[in-house]
Amino acid sequence: MIRLVGILVGLGFTFVVLLSFVMGAYNAATEPAEETAEHAFHLDPKHVEFEHDGLFPAWDVAQLQRGYQVYKEVCSACHSLNQVAFRNLEELGYSEEQVKAEAASWTVPGINPDTGEASSRPGLPTDDFPSPYANNVAAAAANNNAIPPDLSLLTKARHHGPAYVYSLLTGYQEPSAELAERFPDSLPGTGLHHNPYFANLNLAMAPPLTADGQVTYADGTDATIDQMAKDVAAFLTWTAEPALIDRIKLGWMVMGFLLFATILAWLAKKQVWADMKPKRKD
């Protein structure tokens, strides 16, 4: 009797679980999802074109150098670039002497050889770009409790990375009246800034590009906010994947070889089977 009751209880429990699952699946499939501010007001990245886009891309070296200048003079105050070494700047057209001078213009963490204590020193070409903060605690304390991300691989970590960076830098604006009316809880709080290209619409980073001419380009290019945003987005594309152009070129070479090999194999097949005639059926 006890065994029978246990079986019935188990069957009842199984039935309730199965019924709950079926009802939940039915409700999820038939009831519309509750609209959120992020879903209603988040914007896809703007359309922007770069030299490294398309089937036959190339690096715009002048643009990459301008982008590095924007990073150095604007972004490096908060964001690290710890996957890139100063010596990598030679790939942007800088000479060895220029790279040494550029590295020496940065201050990197070091060790005092006499005392063994932490100190700082001018950078060397073999050093990585330093973080502006000693640790994450210091970074959070200086940025409204938000830790600025490292920018080395940012464009690979975001969908449509270069366009996302460009859109974010040029997308700061006041919240719309419709957002304030429909989702008042989504308005930026203290220390936050509204940007519809950011995932949750508000971020702790203040607009880094605030005025035209914020950077004086060495090549004389007019440094508008739009231009600076494009240049630094291109530069961060290079930091994330410096071998991008070589990889695409290699891909085309492989495709060409495969096409040639296919044609050669087809011609060989025709040659080998040229004298073979199908047997006639009497």
Q: How far is it, in rounded angstroms, from Cα 203 to Cα 149? A: 12
pLDDT, one tens digit per residue, over 89-129 is 999 999 999 999 999 999 998 877 777 777 889 999 999 99
Q: Residue holding tokens 């886009």?
A: 53
pTM: 0.83
**Longest distance between any two alpha carbons in the chain, whole Å:** 102
Q: 61-83: per-residue pLDDT in tens?
A: 999 999 999 999 999 999 999 99
Is residue 37 over pLDDT 90?
A: no
CA separation, residue 132 to residues 113, 136, 152 (Å): 23, 10, 14
Say if residue 205 carries a ligand binding annotation.
yes
Q: Show the beta-strand stretches assigned E in 30-156.
A: 107-111, 118-122
For residue 110, the cross-strand partners are 119
* Residue 128 bridge partners (DSSP): 85
**276 in a labelled binding site:** no
Q: Give me the chain's average pLDDT, please.
A: 90
CA atoms of 70 and 270, how far apart (whole Å): 60
**C-beta separation of 64 from 238 below 8 A:** yes
Q: Is 194 annotated as a binding residue?
A: no
Report the pLDDT value the prediction gives residue 18, as an integer from 0 to 100: 83
In contact, 198 and 189? CB cutoff 8 Å: no
d(CA 229, CA 210): 11
The second-level CATH assignment, the architecture, of 39-81+150-244 is Orthogonal Bundle (1.10)
Tokens of 126: 């073999």
Report domain extents, the chain: 39-81+150-244
